[in-house]
Amino acid sequence: MNSVLLTIDLTKAVADEAIQRKDCVVVSYHPIIFRGFKSLTLANHQQQSLLRLALEGISVYSPHTAVDAAPGGLADWLADIVTGHLPEPEPATHTAKPEEQKQSEEYPIEDPFIEKADKWKQRPRIPLQRTYSRPTYPSKPTADKEGFNFTPSITDHARTVIHPVTGVPGFENAGMGRLVTFTHPQPFTHLIERIARGVGSPKGFPVAIPQTKQVEEIQIRTVGICAGSGHSVLKDVDADLLFTGELSHHDALAATEEGKCVITLFHSNTERGFLSTVLKHKLTNVLKKEWEKMREEVAQASDLSPEWEDAVKDDDVLVECSAVDRDPFGVVILESSKQEGKPLS
């Protein structure tokens, strides 16, 4: 079977999936090997996955920073989301007003950060019904469907590379990170909803703002963008908003003290949607052309082995995204339910 499995991380679950599917290649965005070593052993869980795949004849390729830096790659995909390159018209931005924040009369949840005379006696009652979040993905663009009017709500902007790659002819727009400068400032609430929708409408994600600001009043003119862990790329960027996968507590605090805002989605949640909405389709088109060319060349040979004879008869090429790949972190959704057991002291 001429099949490729796309994943962000090559975990044991993904290796099991590739073996069960009988894929030829696993394209793992993150390299499973980050440091050099002299041997592969079954004692290490990650090395075990590599050995199992090798035993099954499944290759592993990890593009990582090449995909980050490439024109039209991961960084530009995130910039497209921020600037409104969406597969259908955007919903109107809605910001909740204080009077809309109604508490349940049956089960009110008190704010633990409000100063009260008896704050040490009264504790917010936390619901115990918990749900671990499942990864969400952007829906595939439907511009190819009959009668569909593909009209992205693109916002006027300029886009530059933060750390350009130099000396590579034909890749003048390559490099790490992107800086988006809007022609007119955009409401922060609008960008939050735009980003959420672009990455699959997750239940929630961290947002940091200066302590003297309210999210409804913030206007954004510039956005620094970096997938994954963005501090090294964004640390010297003068932007109103830093959009990345993760920042440390101290890096985020330093940014808000400088008057910046921060959006983080968890590390790989800034990367996973690129596989299904961009890389899958691009790779499928390239592989189909390459495989057809290969079949024509091999078919002319007179001494084909039985394996090659069977292979060239198969004209199909399949590229799929892993169904089990997800970020290590999820979000526990607390739903209204009566507290059980003794409250924590």
Q: Is the dihedral of CA 111, 113, 117, 118 positive or negative?
A: positive
Q: Cβ distance 197 to 86 under 8 Å?
A: yes
Q: What is the per-residue pLDDT for 256? A: 97
In this structure, the strands spanning 175-187 and 219-229 are antiparallel
Tens-level pLDDT at each residue, the chain (345 residues) = 689 999 999 999 999 999 999 999 999 999 988 778 788 888 888 889 999 999 999 999 999 999 999 999 999 999 999 999 866 555 555 444 444 444 444 434 444 444 444 444 444 443 434 333 344 445 544 444 444 343 456 789 999 999 999 988 888 889 999 999 999 999 999 999 999 989 888 878 899 999 999 999 999 999 999 999 999 999 999 999 999 999 999 999 999 999 999 999 999 999 999 999 999 999 999 999 998 888 888 877 778 788 777 777 888 899 999 999 999 988 877 776 665 666 554
Any idea what DSSP says for residue 160? E
Could you tell me the strand order of the sheet in which 157-164 lies?
157-164, 175-187, 219-229, 241-246, 261-264, 207-208
Any idea what DSSP says for residue 328? S
pTM of the model: 0.78
The total of other beta-carbon atoms located within 10 Å of residue 333's CB is: 13
Any idea what DSSP says for residue 281? H
Q: What is the per-residue pLDDT for 35? A: 79
* Interatomic CA distance for residues 329 and 163, integer angstroms: 29
Q: DSSP characters for 210-251? A: -TT--GGG-EEEEEEEEEEE-HHHHTT---SEEEEEE--HHH
Q: What is the per-residue pLDDT for 1? A: 63
* Interatomic CA distance for residues 30 and 14, integer angstroms: 13
In this structure, the strands spanning 207-208 and 219-229 are unpaired
User: Which amino acid appears at position 271 of this protein?
Assistant: E
The gap from C-alpha 333 to its chain's centroid, in whole angstroms, comes to: 20
Q: What is the per-residue pLDDT for 86? A: 67
Q: Cβ distance 211 to 184 under 8 Å?
A: no
The residue behind tokens 């005379």 is 117
* Interatomic CA distance for residues 180 and 164, integer angstroms: 15
